[in-house]
Amino acid sequence: MAALGAVRCVFRSCSRVKNVQKNKQTLLQWSARTCCSETHSTGDTVQPQFTDPAVQDILSRITGLDLQKVFRPIKQELKPPTYKLMTDEQLQQATQRAAEQAKKLLQMPPVLPERKPIDDVLTVDTILEGMDTAKYVFTDITYNIPHRERFIVIREPDGALRKATWQERDRLIQVYFPKEGRKLTPPLIFREENLKMVFSQDRHEDVLDLCLVQFEPDSSDYIRVHAATYEDLEKHGKYDLLRSTRHFGGMAWYLVNSRRLDGLVVDMLKRELLDDAVSLVSLFHMVHPHSQSAQEAASQQASGTDLLKIYAQKESQRSGYIELALQAYEQRAAEGSSA
Amino acid sequence: MLVFYNKITCQQTSGDVCKFLHPKLFHLLGGGLSADNMVHLSAHNKRARDSKYIEQLGTYDPLPNIYNEKLVSFNFDRIKYWIGCGAHPSKPVAKLLGLAGFFPLHPMTITDAERRRAQAELSAAAGAESEEQTEKPAEV
C-alpha cells in the first residue's frame, strides 16, 4: 500500500488530463501540459509550440471555412428533412450560426510529442514464483480520477508487480470505461498495407477521423498514422482533400516542422489563395527563426508577395516553380484589375 | 461486485467508530451469467452469499483472456471508506488485494506458491525417472 501511495504521488505531479475530448477546455489543458513538460529552446528563443495562439490563428486561417464541405452529408441518424421559410435577415443569421458551428467542428486535434514508455517495476516477490500460469491485472475503477492517473498494475506469474504499459492501459481503460467508437484491438485499417490502399481511394480524412477516435494523441500509433497520411498527401499533392477539415492545421504544422512547404505553397498559389500562402511562409519564419529566408525577411521587413519571393529564393527547392506561379498570379491580378 | 451488507454478527470489533453498528464483510459473490463466468465481489455477513448487497466494489474474472490475463478491478476509494467503517475482507478478496499490492501479501498465497513449486518439482523428478525407465529397456 505504501508503494502504491508513493506511486500515486508521482502520478499526481504530472498533468491531469482525462481523455481526448473535442473541446476548447481540453485544448487549453494540453497547452498547459506542453508548456510545463518540455522546453524546445534553441539558444535564446523558445520554439513556438502548436498551441501558441499566434500559431493557432495562422493555422485556422489557412484551413479555410468552406461551409459546403464542412456540412456535407455524413453518415448519421436518418431524419426527415425540415424546411423553413425565412426572410433574408433570418437567412443571414442562420448562416452566421452555421459558420460558428463550423468553427467548432474545425477545432484542431492536439499535436503532442510521443509518450515515453512505462517500465516501472514496483516490487519483485520471488517467493510467489509459480503461483499461477496467468497474469493478474488490477485496475482502479474509482470514478473521479483522470485516466492518465489511474493505477493499472500487473502481477506476473514470476511474482513481479509492474505498472501496465501504455497499450495495456489503453485496452483496459476501454474495457472498464468504454469510449464510443473505440475498439479494444485497433482496426485493421491502420496496418501499412491497408493504409496504402485507403490512400489510393483518397480517403485520408476518414482514416484521420478513425485514428483520432481510436488512439490517444501522444501514442506512437497515432503519430505513425498521421505521419504516413501527411507523407502520402505531400507525395501526391492532394492538399485540397484536407482543406476545411480539422486536420489541415496538423498537416501544415507537420510540413512546416519538416521544412517541406513547397508543394503546399504552389498548391495555394494555383488556387489563388495568396493570403494563405503568405501566412504559411510567415508561420515557417516563426518556427524556424534562424533560417536564411527568415533572417532576410526580418531584415527587409517584407510582406505579401515579397515574402514569398524571398522564401522562393532562399529556402525552397522548387524555387522556379514558385516564382512561375507568382508571376502567373500577378498577371491574372493585373488582368482582373484592368478588365 | 465487492458489495456490503448490513448484518449483525457476534464479532463486534472494539473501537468501531462507524455509525453503522454492525461490522461488514466484503467478499466474492458467485453468480452472474454462467456464459462469461464472471465472479462478482460482494459482501455480506449472515445473509446468503448471492443475495442483496450494499455496494459493488469491483469485479474479478477467473478465466484468463486471449492475452493470458485475469482481469481484476477494485474501486479503491470505496474500499478504503468501508475499511475505515470497520469492514473486513474475506480470504479470497484479501489474497487478491495482497497480489495487487494494496494489502501485504497473504500468507496462504505464499504457501500455495511453495506447494505448487514442490508439486512441479516432484512431477519433474517423476517424469525424469519414468524417462530413464523407458530408456533402459530400449538399451537392453
Nearest to B30 by CA among B19, B44, B41: B41
Q: Hey, are the CB atoms on B99 and A175 less than 8 Å from each other?
A: no
DSSP single-letter state for residue B22: S
By the CB < 8 Å criterion, does A7 face chain B?
no
Give the one of B68, B71, B116 whose C-beta lies nearest to A131's C-beta: B116
Most confident of A125-134, A258-267, A305-314, B103-112: B103-112
Q: Give the nearest chain B residue to A142 (CA atoms).
A: B75
Cα–Cα nearest to A63, from A108, A100, A98: A108
Q: Chain B: residue nearest A121 by CA?
A: B101
The answer, yes or no, to whether residue A39 has pLDDT greater than 80, is no
Model confidence over A119-164: pLDDT tens digits?
888 888 887 777 788 899 999 988 889 998 899 999 988 888 899 9
- The minimal CB distance from A129 to the residues B75, B101, B117 is found for B117
CA dihedral A44, A49, A52, A55 (to 10 degrees): 100
Q: Does B36 touch chain A (CB under 8 A)?
A: no
Other CB atoms within 10 A of residue A265 CB: 26
Cβ–Cβ < 8 Å for A47, A41: yes
Question: Which residue among B71, B77, B120 places its CB closest to the CB of A137?
Answer: B71
CA dist A215 and A151 (Å) reads 19
Q: CA of A160: which chain B residue's CA is closest? A: B99
Residue A338 forms contact with B (CB below 8 Å): no
CATH code given to domain B2-90 = 3.30.1320.10
Q: What is the mean pLDDT of residues A194-199?
A: 89
CA distance B133 to chain A (A): 28
* β-pairing verdict for B25-29 and B88-89: parallel
Q: What is the mean pLDDT of chain B?
A: 70
A136 and B77 within 8 Å at the Cβ level: the answer is: no
**Cα angle: A109, vertex A114, A116; to 5 degrees:** 140
Is residue A333 scored above 70 in pLDDT?
A: yes
Q: Is the pLDDT of residue B28 over 70?
A: no
Task: Please report the ipTM that was assigned to this predicted complex.
Answer: 0.73
Average pLDDT of the residues in A165-182: 91
Instruction: Say which amino acid occupies A40.
Output: H
pLDDT of A43 > 80? The answer is no
Q: Establish, for the pair of chains A and B, how many residue pairs have beta carbons separated by less than 8 Å.
A: 87
In 3D space, the residue among B65, B98, B63 whose CA is nearest the CA of residue A171 turns out to be B65
Q: How many CA atoms lie less than 13 Å away from A116 in the CB half-sphere?
A: 4
- Per CB-CB distance under 8 Å, the chain A contacts of B76 are 140, 142, 151
User: Least CA distance to A122: which residue of chain B?
Assistant: B101
State residue B104 phi and psi, 5-degree precision. Answer: -65, 160
What residue ranges do the domains of chain A occupy? Answer: 54-66+91-112+180-258, 121-164, 259-338
A155 touches chain B (CB under 8 A): yes
